[in-house]
Structure 1
């Protein structure tokens, strides 16, 4: 009877050892898979930042000869952050294709301010912090202004003052 108890105890220890080894193998395999999918870079990828087209000049386009720049009043807008404590202060210069469009832009000041304020207030600090996202914001502003004016009348937007706090 004493021999049977010793064999049961040995079997119990053996089960625990196998269970611990199996657990370590599973954790090690899971850790490797997590590292492979989330932390390692695919082959050919480098640490170099991606090139972003800054504006139409970078794409080889030139400004129209009649182009005119219109300065919009400063925008001070609360950002869409959870605590509501962040804001953006932004002054824009808008390049339009000709002086007639500049007059149209000035006549549509209320629509322009509304569109810009709605766009800015929908952004959070995280949306605007990286340089690439600021460039995307410029493109979004050009799109919104062209929607208001109808057609491709706005060539580009320049940030003359940008504070995010």
Structure 2
């Protein structure tokens, strides 16, 4: 009879261990699923904030200017190995015809400024959405320094290739 009591106690212990292992596995799978969701599927907070900021700026400023294309820019990026380049096509929204004339008159200054700005950037500084929005704002600031404040309303990226 003593022999019969031992297997029942072992079965009870083995049953508890199975439930503990099962609970640990479920918790581990839930944690892994949460990690995969946040890492691969959920949009990062900085990108959503940059999108919202860009949408708010466009909503605040009415479309009142005309679009003027700038020449395409092809520059080497400031990466350590120097093997990456950027091809960028832009259109700028200007206030009036007078600004369009100033754009053509100051084309050499604009090209120089843009080439220096773009070639100082690295791949990491251009790879996120937030970085692209900041680049557009910086281009507007630089062009307004050349042409006068308020001349350039917005900059639109029409083509961007980083290789």
Common topology (TM > 0.5): yes
Q: Deviating runs (4+, > 6 A) in structure 1?
A: none
Deviation at 1:131, TM superposition (A): 0.7
Q: Assess, with a 3 A threshold, how the Cα gap between structure 1 residues 81 and 107 changes in structure 2: closer, same or farther.
A: same
Taking the aligned partners of 1:158 and 1:135, their CA distance within structure 2 comes to 10
Q: Which residue of 1 aligns with 2:99?
A: 101
Q: Aligned-residue CA RMSD in angstroms?
A: 1.6
Q: Which residue of 1 aligns with 2:85?
A: 87
Q: Which residue of 2 aligns with 1:49?
A: 45
TM-superposition CA deviations, 1:97-141 (whole Å, max 9, x none): 011111111111100011010000110000000111001000000
Normalised by the length of structure 1, the TM-score is 0.67
TM-superposition CA deviations, 1:9-38 (whole Å, max 9, x none): xxxxxxxxxxxxxxxxxxxxxxxxxxxxxx
Extract unaligned runs of 5+ from structure 1.
Answer: 1-45
Extract unaligned runs of 5+ from structure 2.
Answer: 1-41
Q: Which residue of 2 aligns with 1:62?
A: 62
Taking the aligned partners of 1:144 and 1:94, their CA distance within structure 2 comes to 12
Deviation at 1:63, TM superposition (A): 2.4
Pick from 122, 125, 136 the counterpart of residue 124 of structure 1: 122
Taking the aligned partners of 1:106 and 1:75, their CA distance within structure 2 comes to 16
Paired positions, count = 117
Q: Which residue of 2 aligns with 1:164?
A: 162
